[in-house]
C-alpha cells in the first residue's frame, strides 16, 4: 500500500525503520498519525527543494527573461517533454497577448537539469516574455520502482525525516502534535539532520 501521494511505497520501509511489530493501518490512530507524518515529510521536501517530483503538466508557464539570455532554467525537473515555447510579442490593454512560437529546431533541452538552450541568438527579453507548456517529473511507476538514484535519495530522505520525527516523539524530545482521531489533519515541526540537509541540497533545483 502506498502512503505518499507521489506513490512511493514506503509502508514496509516505515514499519522496519520505526521498528514496528504490526502493519501500518491508516484506519487506526497510530497508522493515521504515521501516514500524516510521512505525507508531511514529503510536502516539506517539496517545499525545501522547490520541486514537485511527481509528473506535472505546466500550461503557458510565464518566465521573465533578462537581455541576452540564451539558457532558460525551467521551474522543475526532469523534463519529460516540451509542448511549446512562445515569445510574447504584444499585449493589449486587456492583457491579451500575441505570441510567436519558437520552432523546436531552434533550441535544445537538457531533460535532467531542466535547462533549455537557444541554438542561435537569444530569447526575447522582458517581463513574462516567454510562455512554456511542458511536462516534468516522474511517473508513479518510476517513483515506486526507484528508477534512478535521485528517486532513491528522495525516498531515503522522506523516510529519514519520518523516522527521526517518530523517534524523537517516542522519546519525548521536543514538542509534538497529538492526534485524537484517525485522519485528523495536523502540523509537524521537522528538525533536519546534517544528512537530511545534504540530501535536500542534492535534490534542489
Same domain, 31 and 87: no
Same domain, 155 and 118: no
Final residue belonging to a domain, choices 115, 136, 157: 136
Residue 167 resides in a domain: yes
Contacts of 71 (CB under 8 A, 6+ apart): 115, 116, 117, 118
pTM (2 d.p.): 0.79
Final residue belonging to a domain, choices 111, 136, 161: 136
Please check the confidence at residue 170 and state whether its pLDDT lies above 80.
Answer: no
Which ranges of the chain would DSSP assign to H, the alpha helix?
11-17, 29-49, 140-144, 149-170, 194-203
Provide the CATH number for the domain around residue 66.
Answer: 2.60.40
State the residue range of the domain holding 85. 56-136
Final residue belonging to a domain, choices 108, 136, 164: 136
Same domain, 70 and 125: yes
* Nearest in space to 177 (alpha carbons), one of 18, 44, 22, 36: 36
What is the tens place of the pLDDT at every residue in 81-116? 999 999 999 999 888 999 999 999 999 999 999 999
Instruction: Provide the domain count of the chain.
Output: 2
Same domain, 61 and 91: yes
Residue 175 resides in a domain: yes
What is the tens place of the pLDDT at every residue in 14-71? 777 677 777 777 777 777 777 788 888 888 899 999 999 989 999 999 999 999 999 9
Are the beta carbons of 20 and 37 closer than 8 angstroms? no
Same domain, 183 and 146: yes
What is the tens place of the pLDDT at every residue in 120-142? 999 999 999 999 999 999 988 88
Amino acid at each position: 500500500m502506498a502512503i505518499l501521494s507521489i506513490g512511493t511505497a514506503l509502508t514496509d520501509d516505515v514499519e522496519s525503520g520505526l521498528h514496528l511489530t504490526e502493519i501500518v493501518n491508516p484506519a487506526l490512530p497510530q497508522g493515521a498519525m504515521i501516514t500524516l507524518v510521512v505525507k508531511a515529510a514529503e510536502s516539506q521536501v517539496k517545499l525545501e527543494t522547490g520541486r514537485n517530483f511527481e509528473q506535472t503538466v505546466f500550461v503557458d508557464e510565464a518566465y521573465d527573461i533578462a537581455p541576452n539570455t540564451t539558457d532558460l532554467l525551467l521551474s522543475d525537473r526532469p523534463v519529460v517533454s516540451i509542448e511549446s515555447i512562445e515569445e510574447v510579442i504584444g499585449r493589449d490593454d486587456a492583457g491579451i497577448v500575441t505570441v510567436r512560437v519558437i520552432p523546436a529546431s531552434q533550441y535544445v533541452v537538457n531533460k535532467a537539469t531542466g535547462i533549455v538552450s537557444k541554438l542561435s541568438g537569444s530569447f526575447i527579453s522582458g517581463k513574462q516574455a516567454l510562455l512554456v507548456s511542458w511536462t516534468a517529473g516522474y511517473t508513479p511507476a518510476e517513483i515506486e520502482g526507484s528508477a534512478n538514484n535521485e528517486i532513491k535519495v528522495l525516498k531515503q530522505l522522506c523516510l529519514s525525516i519520518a523516522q527521526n520525527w517518530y523517534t524523537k516523539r517516542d522519546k519525548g524530545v521536543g514538542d509534538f502534535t497529538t492526534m485524537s482521531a484517525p485522519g485528523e489533519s495536523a502540523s509537524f515541526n521537522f528538525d533536519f539532520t546534517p544528512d537530511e540537509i545534504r540530501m535536500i541540497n542534492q535534490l534542489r533545483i
